[in-house]
A and B are shown apart, each in its own frame.
Chain A
Amino acid sequence: MLSLERVTKVYRVGAFGLRRLTAVRDVSLQIGEQEIVSLIGESGSGKSTIGKMILRLTPITSGTIRFEGVDISTLKGPALKEYYRKVQGVFQDPFASYNPIFKADRIFAMIREEFFPGLEARAWKEKLEEALRAVGLNPPDVLNKFPHQLSGGQLQRFLVARALLLDIRLLVADEIISMLDASTRIDVLNLLAELRSRGLSILFITHDLSLGYYISEQAVILYRGTVVEMGSTGRVYEDPRHPYTRMLMASVPRLDRKWGALDMSLQRQATEEGEGCVYYSRCPSPGKACGVSSPPLVKVADDHWVACFRSSEV
């Protein structure tokens, strides 16, 4: 349904934008119908940038993003509005997504003005209440309130309900769980899974590996803007081939296993953009080729790709 083909994003940074920072490099991935894809990476890995590019919040430097076969960068005017009817995003901080001066319902009123100007008040109210119930909220409890009167979980669900008012096909969920408390986060996660069964595809952006495992079929591991490993969640988690993925898996705090004595290479997180593999400077066992050219994404098993020259050896 949505495909990214060799998408690259270069930011200009530093004084006068003289320095270039490649936030996303040659990323290709697909999101199918009714599929939840987890985009997993640490801070600075470019995962949010990918979400923003899909939502057209930031332009692409090179490459194409196609939604149902159409290059989204060509969309303008009514076609772009039609795109937003189908693709919506929800972001990390629910408190920052609202204007504290206005009531929280304002986000719904804006959707109505923009997308359903002809709809009658009663029909709209029914539609709104249905969307709120779909995200597990009781409409009388939450409507007509200011953002500070609602909890983080409620606000986050409000935003999902807002997206549901449109006939969306793809939801970009950028770290929507991380601001929520443990007791409510699982409910929002379950909500996403339920929405999937109603025909929605979700790009689930997260840094939390266990959340990604719980909810998604496909996992994409990003490191400094490059896909280092991707494939079905089961394969990536149970048989990680890239040294970075292995390191990640070993350092996630888990409840069923204590941390092993993994050597913590806290060494320089290299900032120079050389030719070789992005993980070269932190890799515990780099080969000769790794410092010279960057490894391509190679299929190592069914539905499992790794970008490492030594994936067969480790």
Chain B
Amino acid sequence: MSLQVENLRVYYRTLRGYVRALEGATFSVADGEIMGLAGESGCGKTTLGHSLIYLRPPMHLIEGRVFLDGQELPIGDMEKMREFRFRKISIIPQYAMNALNPTRKIGKMIAELLASRGVDFRDILPELKRRLDLVQLSPQVLGMYPIELSGGMKQRTVMVLSTLLNPSLLIADEITSALDVSTQKAVCEMLVEFRDRGFVQSTLIITHDISILYQIADTILVMYAGQLAEKAPTEVMFENPRHPYTKMLIASLPKVGVKYQEERLQGIPGAPPQLLNPPAGCRFRERCPVALGRCVEEPPFLEVGPGHLVACWREGGRC
């Protein structure tokens, strides 16, 4: 087990109280597994991703433990986390295109970053060039400023940079959302390639685009309003979703081959609840077509099949 998260609860501290962005997340990601984290905006997927690497105020760790390769991560302690960041856990941020320092040449920036971790740039340069080659970038980019690269090239540069020290866990936060479909595909395939070559052990891909996950993820975790809704292997998730939210979400996606005149897709009526004072119990209850009286209690996240966990009273938690 590469990554284990136990009962992780992270709130945002605001003047009006806690925004309950992440409630009791418990899951694990195996070695070599690419796990997709999907959900609507504001469902807590980015909070979950960031709390594993950079839990800064106003984020506030309420409880929970995280283990990486059997070692506990001090995620609540910014200073102690420093030695894990970049070496053991790394992130490709949401706006990777803007993550590069505009006043430094890319090679210099990488050298400075490595120096801050006590690694000599010259030792790692051959490997760096090999990896740039792998993502179809010429070593010349090291002598260029970020402004000279296109969005897709910057994205690939950051991918190489983030994984340079072979982290055990890579968090990729919405890395494809600003890219064209053809570049999107190439970037996704590179992520898989990085995993296959062992540059990274486990990968957590955060995205709102479930169709991307269908292409590259091994397992998918769907979140709704701060709670985990369902986790399943990719094929199972699409063929046999169990949580009502997942079912409706997958059914609402337009596919090539579906026309309005022939098959009218349905959205999910309503909106997610406010997380400042969220209702008790299952937070999907208000929009759920099959809600029970029992749903005012929070449903447990239980296994209903091999590797398939669901938080719904109708499914796992039998009354």
A-to-B contact residues, CB < 8 Å: 42-43, 151, 153, 181-187, 189-190, 193, 207, 209-211, 213-215, 233, 237, 247-249, 251-256, 258-259, 262, 264, 266-267, 269
Contact B185 A264 (CB under 8 A): yes
Distance (Å) between the CB of A146 and the closest chain B CB? 16
Contact A264 B186 (CB under 8 A): yes
Closest B residue by C-beta to A152:
B41
B304 at the interface (CB under 8 A from A): no
A213/B257 contact (C-beta < 8 A), A207-B180, A248-B181, A266-B152 known? yes
Contact B210 A182 (CB under 8 A): yes
Contact B267 A247 (CB under 8 A): no
CB-CB < 8 A to A233: which residues of B?
Answer: 259
Q: State the CA gap A170–B254 with chains docked (Å).
A: 24
Q: State the CA gap A24–B253 with chains docked (Å).
A: 31
Contact B212 A183 (CB under 8 A): no
Given contacts A189-B260, A233-B259, list 4 more A-B pairs with CB under 8 A. Answer: A182-B253, A211-B254, A254-B214, A262-B185
A254/B180 contact (C-beta < 8 A), A183-B40, A184-B267, A266-B152 known? no
Q: State the CA gap A247–B185 with chains docked (Å).
A: 11
CB-CB < 8 A to A210: which residues of B?
Answer: 211, 253-256, 258
Distance (Å) between the CB of A257 and the closest chain B CB? 9
Q: Pick the contact of B258 from A183, A213, A248 — CB < 8 Å?
A: A213
Closest B residue by C-beta to A251:
B185
CB-CB < 8 A to B265: which residues of A?
Answer: 186, 189-190, 214
Contact A253 B184 (CB under 8 A): yes
Distance (Å) between the CB of B34 and the closest chain A CB? 14
Interface 0/1 of B50-65, CB less than 8 Å to A: 0000000000000000
B319 at the interface (CB under 8 A from A): no
Closest B residue by C-beta to A45:
B180
Instruction: Count B interface residues, CB 8 Å.
Output: 40
CB-CB < 8 A to A249: which residues of B?
Answer: 256
A-B contact pairs, 28 of them (CB 8 A): A43-B180, A151-B271, A182-B40, A182-B249, A183-B252, A184-B271, A185-B252, A186-B266, A186-B267, A189-B254, A207-B180, A207-B181, A209-B256, A213-B257, A215-B259, A215-B260, A248-B181, A251-B181, A252-B256, A253-B211, A254-B255, A255-B210, A255-B250, A255-B253, A258-B215, A264-B185, A264-B189, A266-B182
Q: State the CA gap A237–B182 with chains docked (Å).
A: 16
Distance (Å) between the CB of A245 and the closest chain B CB? 12
Distance (Å) between the CB of A188 and the closest chain B CB? 8
Contact A266 B136 (CB under 8 A): yes
B183 at the interface (CB under 8 A from A): yes
Within 8 A of A (CB), among B258-309: 258-260, 264-268, 271
Contact A259 B260 (CB under 8 A): no
Q: State the CA gap A247–B252 with chains docked (Å).
A: 26
Closest B residue by C-beta to A234:
B259
CB-CB < 8 A to A214: which residues of B?
Answer: 254, 258-260, 265
Closest A residue by C-beta to B152:
A266
> DSSP class of B's interface residues: helix, strand, loop or mixed?
loop
Distance (Å) between the CB of A250 and the closest chain B CB? 8
Contact B255 A42 (CB under 8 A): no
A186/B254 contact (C-beta < 8 A), A253-B209, A258-B215, A269-B150 known? yes
CB-CB < 8 A to B211: which residues of A?
Answer: 210, 253-255
CB-CB < 8 A to A255: which residues of B?
Answer: 210-211, 214, 238, 250, 253, 255
Q: Pick the contact of A237 from B180, B184, B256, B266 — CB < 8 Å?
A: B256
CB-CB < 8 A to A42: which residues of B?
Answer: 180-182
Distance (Å) between the CB of A97 and the closest chain B CB? 18
CB-CB < 8 A to A237: which residues of B?
Answer: 256
Contact B183 A266 (CB under 8 A): yes
Closest A residue by C-beta to B187:
A266
Within 8 A of A (CB), among B182-222: 182-186, 188-189, 208-212, 214-215
Distance (Å) between the CB of B261 and the closest chain A CB? 8
Q: Pick the contact of A193 from B212, B214, B260 — CB < 8 Å?
A: B260
Distance (Å) between the CB of A266 and the closest chain B CB? 5
Distance (Å) between the CB of A198 and the closest chain B CB? 14
B73 at the interface (CB under 8 A from A): no
Distance (Å) between the CB of A181 and the closest chain B CB? 4
Q: State the CA gap A269–B188 with chains docked (Å).
A: 19
Closest A residue by C-beta to B136:
A266
Closest B residue by C-beta to A250:
B185
Q: State the CA gap A151–B272 with chains docked (Å).
A: 10
Contact B208 A182 (CB under 8 A): yes
Closest A residue by C-beta to B192:
A259
Within 8 A of A (CB), among B26-45: 40-41
Q: State the CA gap A248–B180 with chains docked (Å).
A: 10
CB-CB < 8 A to B214: which residues of A?
Answer: 253-255, 258
Closest 10 CB pairs of A and B: A42-B180, A187-B267, A253-B211, A183-B268, A251-B185, A181-B40, A214-B254, A186-B267, A264-B186, A210-B254
B114 at the interface (CB under 8 A from A): no
Q: State the CA gap A267–B185 with chains docked (Å).
A: 14
CB-CB < 8 A to B185: which residues of A?
Answer: 251, 253, 259, 262, 264
Q: State the CA gap A259–B180 with chains docked (Å).
A: 16
Distance (Å) between the CB of B39 and the closest chain A CB? 9
Q: State the CA gap A258–B188 with chains docked (Å).
A: 12
Q: Pick the contact of B260 from A151, A190, A256 — CB < 8 Å?
A: A190
Query: Quick one: which of B248, B249, B267 has the most chain A CB within 10 A?
Result: B267
Distance (Å) between the CB of B266 and the closest chain A CB? 7
CB-CB < 8 A to B150: which residues of A?
Answer: 269
